[in-house]
Amino acid sequence: MSDYDDSFLKSLVSYQEQLNSADAVERTKIGEDCSLPLEALQKLAENQQCLDFIDKIRRMVAYQSPHEVTELLPTTIGKFQVLSQLGMGGFGIVFHAKDPDNNRSVAIKIPRPEILMSEDHVRRFRNEARTAAQLDHPNIVQVFDSGAEGVVPYIVMPYVTGGNLAIWRDQQRKIAPREAAEIVMHLARGMAHAHSRGILHRDIKPSNVLLEPVGEMKNGSFLKFIPKLTDFGLAKQENSEEDLTRSGLTPGTSSYMSPEQVLGSSKDVTAKSDIFSLSIILYELLSGTHPFRSHSESETLNNLNLTELIPSRQYRLSVPRDLQAICLKGLEKKPEQRYRSADELADDLERFLDGRTVLARPANLLKKTLKWGKRHPLLAMASTILSVSLCLLICVTFYYNNKLQILLVQSERGRVTVEKQSFAIRQRSCMTDTRLAQSAWSQGNTKQALRLLKRHFPGKGEKDVRSFAWWHLWKEFNDTTRILGEHADQITSVAPHPSGHLVASSCRDGVIKIWDLESLDKVSSLRGHESGSINCVVFSPSGDSLVSVGDDSAICFWDTLDWSLRKQIHLDGGKINRASFSADGDLLAVAGVDSVIHIRAASTGEPLQTLDGHQKEISDLTFHPTERILASTSKDGTIRVWDFRAGEKPKQFVIQVPRPENWCRSLAFSPVGDRLAGGSIMNDTFVWSTADGDMGELIDAEKQYPNARSLCWPAANRLYKADITGSVTEFQIADRALRKTKKILLDEEIFVGRTSTRHSQAINSLHKVPHSSFFVSGSEDRTIRLWKVLQSLELVPADLRDQEPFKTASHREFNRMYWTPSKLFIMTHEGVRNDIGWDSEDSFLHVFSKIEEPVQHRLTMPSGQDIAVSPSGGKLIQAYHEGRLTLMNTHTRKQDWERSLPPFLHPDYIHGVPVINNLETHFILAWGSDLYFGDLRTGEMEEPLKNEYFTPSVIFVNEESGPLNAISGDDRGNVHLWNLEGGGIKKRLWTSLGSSINSLSLSPSRQRLAIGLSNGSAVVFLYPEMEKIAEFSHEDVVTKMEFCNQDRILVSSSVRTHFWDLENESELLCFPEPVSLHWENTHEELFTRCSGPFAVSPDRDRVAVILQGEMRLIDLSPPSEQAR
């Protein structure tokens, strides 16, 4: 700079400092202290006018109160009234003013005084006005007007009240990525507009972005303002390292310049340079830091050109990857790798905001590696050598590992093959042993059956081979009987605790044992009697005491808390047979060989009185379940009832057994105490009334071999007699009489299980366990057993049970079963007795809403018909032998329609039964040699389909898709396929199976067809290929077949029901031969016949079968691992 220029600038600066001095009163004239040419002095005078003008405006702004201003300072710039100073930068000063013509607020920008010293800067200032005036875009600050106040040019712009982006950025704690994207998108749109006019900004930075507030946000917008670009003049003079621009340096702000801008070549500065600056702003907003700025300008420029940019996600993980990719693409150091235009940048940001795929993509691994290698060549070379060595090592390792893997695969294949073979052998062994166990069980060899079953418990790590048949037998054993424990000698008595959790047992060896019914473990062993057998144990009603009596004539009182002997009393009369507590727990009665009953206080054992009357040994005594009434029986042939309710001396009633030598060994009151049962030594069971007014009246007597050892009456309509053979007889009490009886042997109808699970010797004591469905028994075979009661199938509704003809039914035959999702249907044939003889059989349909509950209702149907129930259970079609077809609604029990078959086609009987399709739209009926196909809703039938021979069976196929077809089988062994919707076109699937086809069944997948023949064979084919895959033989005619799943099928013959496994072609289970029961008394004859009906549940998880008059449920799936 020349001395002239230096003196000129010093004069201006000195004068401006005088203006800035608040206490300056008189100012020296500019230029008085320097010698300058006249031309320069004139120019200084002009600048002095400018400084005076600016000083006036500043003073007007500084002193706005009228009390502090003694004279008015100039208040206008041009026609605009100055209101306040908005700011001062390195290039100019901005004022807030008012436009009087348009009555609006405006911003006026004038250059700093020192800027006026440079004609270039003055031109650039005026150029800014001209340039901005060419642009009209929502994101660019518009120029309203321009002019000059003397020598001071000015630019008039809109007054934007929101401040600038730099201030807003510093005020935000954290900027949302979508906000940042939207701000830069708007700025890019404005910059694209300027570029389209050939204008480059070259000084884009946050302080050059003004924010115009908006009243309401637009739809989809996150911003409460509109960002606008301003300052298109590049006229700032840099006076600091960061934000100032000084004349003589590269235009722009160094921290926001592009690499090509820094190089100073104006020809390399393009629109992509502005894109770089916009991307720096985006990076700052996303990461909260500048990408290149350092402690000094030189370091900033060095970072700009050489340093690899740190991705914004390393500062904030919340930055989306797509937005980071957009930012990094705009900050590429090479212009050709950036966006081609500002519009392209704005479009990509808009795609991000709309959730669409962006054009920018993060640099792939190869690109990043190449960049890193260029910056660090030595490390790159070392890494390459290491990588190649590692690859070679991996290849060698892979080669030998592959060889080893082949050997391992071969070894594994061999192991799997051995395991499969072993599993198949174990599976076949389990199936064989299961069949042998069933046979052994049915023959009474319990130990052998259990030994065979236990062989197949899986070991540790072994796969379980037990099939549902194994689990069924195991469940039968566990549900049927559990050996609670054993004694060293014959068991004389058992007694359940009132809580149902404990059982006490006594033995001839003088030991009492206490058992826990939940854990099945022994709790304690009690020894207190001096010698001989303990004949009876009994718990007090409160459960706090246990009393035992025995041959040593002692009464022992045991405390149930610690099982200690609390008291022992000896009688003089000899051995004591029985003891019993009164229902209120106050009295204890004991009796034995001396024929005297001793009444004692239950709590203390103190004697209260003795009861004389019996002439011989007393064998049993028992208290009334609710009253102070005691019944006793003696070998003298009498039963005496002692009523203590009248007073201290009881009233005595004597009941004489019909024959004294047939004396009763055991007694039992009914649950309400209105009846008394006695079991005699000559096989009779008597029932007497104990009600007031008819005390001792003999209600009924039933002779049933063998004689009773113990009676148990747990329910009003059921009485159980345990006898000397180890079996039990159940009496079903109806109308106060033993009208129905059946021998159950603890294994058939009432107790679940097999004959082999009963006691092998006499049962001396039988009791119902309170609060459970179990019985407990003690036997001379030295075992104590728990028995689970199976509820009988109640086929008659409770409100009809005492009405004719149900109570006089003489025999019943179970005919068919249907199991639908909502109901279970069982069809029976029953005979009815009248005054002159027997009527013909009628048919009854028993409808159960739930299989575990009693029958819901019972429909009476004349004999001589067959039925079919729809899959949903809502429709019932009945085919009468005389030629009538009816459809009934099972919900309303009303008839929907009735149709007749042509008279000339009436045969004597129907060969086959009606069938309803799964969609419940059609039915088909085999009628002689013809097939009738009809609409289930209306009953309308097509012309009959003719066949050459009688057709006993027919089923539907292909119901859900394709044409509706049916398969039929005739009495010559021919199988035909009928197209029911195509005019009944017939196709012969198989010819001459050698016997009449009585049953057909399709698997659930409709890929297997089973055919049951009258010669006892069941043949299974692949369908529709009709390739035979299995054949099974049975004892008699096959009456019904049904698939349980793809590989299991149930086949019922007239003798047995068999469960077959098709995969192994083996029998899994066989249900025993039906039993017919007869009694000699013709007038009370009961005949029960079961021909093996069954039904598979809709979910195919269970099977319901009728066995000996009782319905049984069999689970087809093994239990869960937890249940095992």
The yes-or-no verdict on residue 1088 having pLDDT over 80 is no
Alpha-carbon span 93 to 236, nearest angstrom: 11
- Per-domain residue ranges of the chain: 1-159, 162-362, 376-423, 490-750+764-770+782-787
The yes-or-no verdict on residue 337 having pLDDT over 50 is yes
Instruction: For 450-483, write each residue's pLDDT tens digit.
Output: 788 888 888 888 888 888 788 878 776 666 666 7
What's the whole-number mean pLDDT along residues 161-190? 92
- Which span out of 162-176, 475-489, 498-512 was modeled with the highest average pLDDT? 498-512
Q: Which of the pair, 993 or 1074, is modelled with greater confidence?
A: 993
On whether the CB atoms of residues 1052 and 1069 are closer than 8 A, the answer is no
Q: Which of the pair, 472 or 52, is modelled with greater confidence?
A: 472
pLDDT at 1000: 93
Q: Which of the pair, 361 or 924, is modelled with greater confidence?
A: 924
What's the whole-number mean pLDDT along residues 1062-1089? 51
Helix axes 446-454, 468-480, angle to 10 degrees: 130
Task: Please name the residue ranges forming H helices in 21-162.
Answer: 38-62, 119-133
pLDDT at 1121: 41
Q: How confident is the model at residue 181 (pLDDT cuts 50, 70, 90)?
A: very high
What fold, for 1-159?
Phosphorylase Kinase; domain 1 (3.30.200)
With residue 390 as reference, give the H or E element that holds it.
helix 377-442
- Rounded to the nearest 5°, which phi and psi values hold at 954? -155, 145
- Reduced to 3 states, what is the DSSP secondary structure of residue 1065? coil
The yes-or-no verdict on residue 855 having pLDDT over 70 is no
Domains 1-159 and 490-750+764-770+782-787 share a fold: no
The yes-or-no verdict on residue 764 having pLDDT over 90 is yes
Instruction: For 631-656, write each residue's pLDDT tens digit.
Output: 999 999 999 999 998 777 889 999 99
Instruction: For 413-436, write each residue's pLDDT tens digit.
Output: 888 899 888 888 888 898 889 888
Residues 6+ apart with CB under 8 A from 228: 138, 139, 140, 141, 160, 190, 209, 210, 211, 212
The yes-or-no verdict on residue 668 having pLDDT over 60 is yes
What's the whole-number mean pLDDT along residues 10-25? 58
pLDDT at 755: 29
With residue 765 as reference, give the H or E element that holds it.
strand 763-768
Least confident range from 69-73, 405-409, 596-600: namely 69-73
pLDDT at 228: 93
Q: Which of the pair, 435 or 179, is modelled with greater confidence?
A: 179
Alpha-carbon span 393 to 381, nearest angstrom: 18
What's the whole-number mean pLDDT along residues 167-184? 92
Alpha-carbon span 316 to 177, nearest angstrom: 10
On whether the CB atoms of residues 323 and 286 are closer than 8 A, the answer is yes
The yes-or-no verdict on residue 756 having pLDDT over 60 is no
pLDDT at 760: 79
The yes-or-no verdict on residue 209 having pLDDT over 70 is yes
Percent of the chain with pLDDT over 90: 32
Instruction: For 811-844, write each residue's pLDDT tens digit.
Output: 456 777 888 887 888 887 666 444 444 444 567 7
pLDDT at 893: 85
Query: Token pair for residue 398?
Result: 């892979």
Alpha-carbon span 185 to 326, nearest angstrom: 11
Q: How confident is the model at residue 897 (pLDDT cuts 50, 70, 90)?
A: very high
Q: Which of the pair, 134 or 1020, is modelled with greater confidence?
A: 1020
Residues 6+ apart with CB under 8 A from 698: 658, 686, 687, 688
Mean pLDDT (the chain) is: 80
Query: Token pair for residue 581?
Result: 């507590």
Q: Are strands 809-819 and 1087-1090 parallel, antiparallel or unpaired?
A: parallel
The yes-or-no verdict on residue 1020 having pLDDT over 90 is yes
What's the whole-number mean pLDDT along residues 665-671? 94
- Which span out of 150-159, 255-264, 320-329, 990-999 was modeled with the highest average pLDDT? 320-329
pLDDT at 620: 95
- The candidate with the shortest Cα–Cα distance to 578, out of 622, 546, 613, is 622
Burial 82-100 (b: 16+ CB within 10 A, else e): bbebbeebbbbbbbbbbbe
Q: How confident is the model at residue 305 (pLDDT cuts 50, 70, 90)?
A: confident
Q: Which of the pair, 114 or 270, is modelled with greater confidence?
A: 270
CATH homologous superfamily of 162-362 equals Transferase(Phosphotransferase) domain 1 (1.10.510.10)
The yes-or-no verdict on residue 791 having pLDDT over 60 is no
Instruction: For 507-534, write each residue's pLDDT tens digit.
Output: 999 999 999 988 778 999 999 999 999 9
Cα 541 to Cα 605, 628, 666, distances in angstroms: 15, 13, 21
pLDDT at 146: 86
Cα 683 to Cα 188, 292, 663, 664, distances in angstroms: 111, 113, 10, 10
CATH homologous superfamily of 490-750+764-770+782-787 equals YVTN repeat-like/Quinoprotein amine dehydrogenase (2.130.10.10)
Percent of the chain with pLDDT over 70: 77
The yes-or-no verdict on residue 3 having pLDDT over 60 is no
pLDDT at 739: 39
**CA-based end-to-end distance of the chain:** 104
Query: Token pair for residue 591?
Result: 């009796």
Q: Which of the pair, 705 or 607, is modelled with greater confidence?
A: 607
pLDDT at 197: 87
Whether residue 946 is annotated as binding a ligand: the answer is: no
Alpha-carbon span 1067 to 536, nearest angstrom: 48
pLDDT at 1084: 31
Give yes or no for a cis peptide into 1098 (omega within 30° of 0).
no
- Rounded to the nearest 5°, which phi and psi values hold at 679? -110, 120
Q: Within 10 A of 352 (CB to CB), how many other CB atoms are there?
A: 22
The yes-or-no verdict on residue 187 having pLDDT over 80 is yes
The yes-or-no verdict on residue 1068 having pLDDT over 50 is yes
Q: Is 659 exposed, middle or buried (0-12, 13-18, 19+ CB in 10 A)?
A: exposed
Instruction: For 673-682, write each residue's pLDDT tens digit.
Output: 999 999 998 8
pLDDT at 629: 94
pLDDT at 28: 53
pLDDT at 501: 93
The yes-or-no verdict on residue 561 having pLDDT over 90 is yes
Q: How confident is the model at residue 742 (pLDDT cuts 50, 70, 90)?
A: very low
Alpha-carbon span 565 to 75, nearest angstrom: 121
pLDDT at 708: 86
Instruction: For 125-137, write each residue's pLDDT tens digit.
Output: 787 788 788 888 9
